[in-house]
Structure 1
Amino acid sequence: MKALLDFIPLIAFFIAARYYGILPAAGALLVATLIIYAIHFVRQKGKFDKQQWVVLLLTIVFCGGTLLLRDDIYLRWKSPIINGIFALTLLGSVVVNKPLMQLAMKDVFALSQSGWKKLTAAWALFFAVMAVLHYVTAFMMSDEAWINFKTYGWIPIMLVFIVAQFLVLKKHINPALTEKPPQ
């Protein structure tokens, strides 16, 4: 449910950008994000995880800057910066020997410390590539290409990455997930 709710701001952005332009799209993205995060806040009993705080605060800063200064350059920087922060955070967790993917996926996979570091590094690389792709589409391509990529172009790339990850890691699925309960 959470993942589906998180797509609503993207849909609002896409529709507003298509019919009204980038500045109204920034407003739609900001308002939709605030509404969805209010719902998350209530459903999560008044708490956000760190990723949610990063996305919320950067959305407010970049959409707010875009609207206040009437310049879409701020909104164009939002996705490259968010993806860059995720990449650097994940890479940093590998460097300090506390791979964050272990915290996120320890119930799904049974990996060695080396395996967790490799998985976390792979996700860091994924987010770094996404940061570059968002930058290229935002600053080197047409507005339409940028809007399309920002709204839904990244989704197939992420799905391919996730499927590939599960294919590579399927032999490391936590045995507790595949055991049948006693009858």
Structure 2
Amino acid sequence: MKMLIDFLPIAIFVLVYQLTKDIVLATAVLIPATIAQVLFTWWRWRKVEKMHLVTLALVVLLGGATVILGDGEFIKWKPTVVNWLFAVAFLLSPLLGGKSLIERMMEKNMTLPSPVWTRLNLAWVVFFLAMGAVNIVVFTHFSEEVWVNFKLFGMMGLTILFILVQGVYLARHLPRDENTIQGTGSRKEEK
């Protein structure tokens, strides 16, 4: 359910755009949809992820500029700014807290050697930088309609593909011993 809520504002944005072909109107709907997403998340789980707050701030800022100025170019920058901010956060996280962001997010589910966490974190940095750059290429070289579809389907598809590749990489570093509980690194009790 949480993943559905994460993609609901962008799905609404794409739907409104597909029905009207008006990026300003779609953006005007995106802003309250994103606010509603954050409020619902707070109401349901009593916490809001930083990613949602950053996204909300950029939707309000860049989306507001799009609506007020009637210029869709502002909202097209949002995915790039979000991805590049995440790249910076992942890159700087080991310096600020000792552990990488990816390690903090996943260490409860698996134990990995420090170099693996470092490589995984850097892979996310590169992924976020690439996604931001690809967004610029798409909105500067293709039609607005192509960009809108890429924003939902292309970015989601590339993210899923990256996660699958990450899963293959992680599988190489997980314990293979049958007596090891996968992902925890602890041994089952011998009978």
Q: TM-score normalized by structure 2? A: 0.86
Query: 2:102 — aligned with what?
Result: 101
One-letter code of the match for 1:114?
A: P
How far did residue 66 of structure 1 move?
A: 0.8
Greater shift, 1-10 or 89-98, is seen at 89-98
Alignment of 1:82-93 (within 5 A): 82-93=82-93
**Cα deviation digits, residues 48-88 of structure 1 (max 9, x gap):** 22222111111111111111111111101111100010111
Distance (whole Å) between structure 2 residues aligned to residue 158 and residue 148 of structure 1: 15
Distance (whole Å) between structure 2 residues aligned to residue 170 and residue 127 of structure 1: 22
One-letter code of the match for 1:87?
A: A
Say which structure is richer in helix: 1
Q: 1:55 to 1:176 in 2, by over 3 A?
A: farther
How far did residue 95 of structure 1 move?
A: 5.3
How far did residue 133 of structure 1 move?
A: 0.9
Query: 2:18 — aligned with what?
Result: 18
Distance (whole Å) between structure 1 residues aligned to residue 160 and residue 117 of structure 2: 20
Distance (whole Å) between structure 2 residues aligned to residue 72 and residue 81 of structure 1: 15
Query: 2:55 — aligned with what?
Result: 55
- The CA RMSD measured in Å over matched residues stands at 2.1
Gaps of 5+ in 1: none
By relative contact order (CA 8 Å, sep 6+), the higher-ranking structure is 1
Distance (whole Å) between structure 2 residues aligned to residue 128 and residue 38 of structure 1: 29
Query: 2:78 — aligned with what?
Result: 78
Aligned residues: 181
How far did residue 177 of structure 1 move?
A: 4.7
Query: 1:111 — aligned with what?
Result: 112
Alignment of 1:1-183 (within 5 A): 1-20=1-20, 21-45=22-46, 47-94=47-94, 97-173=98-174, 176-177=181-182
Q: 1:141 to 1:95 in 2, by over 3 A?
A: farther
Q: 1:17 to 1:169 in 2, by over 3 A?
A: same
Contact 1:108 1:173 in 2 (8 A): no
How far did residue 108 of structure 1 move?
A: 2.5
Distance (whole Å) between structure 1 residues aligned to residue 17 and residue 183 of structure 2: 45
Gaps of 5+ in 2: none
Distance (whole Å) between structure 2 residues aligned to residue 72 and residue 115 of structure 1: 41
Distance (whole Å) between structure 2 residues aligned to residue 162 and residue 108 of structure 1: 16
Distance (whole Å) between structure 2 residues aligned to residue 140 and residue 57 of structure 1: 27
Identity across the alignment (%): 29
Secondary structure in structure 1 of the residue aligned to 2:77:
helix
Distance (whole Å) between structure 2 residues aligned to residue 173 and residue 39 of structure 1: 36
One-letter code of the match for 1:22?
A: I
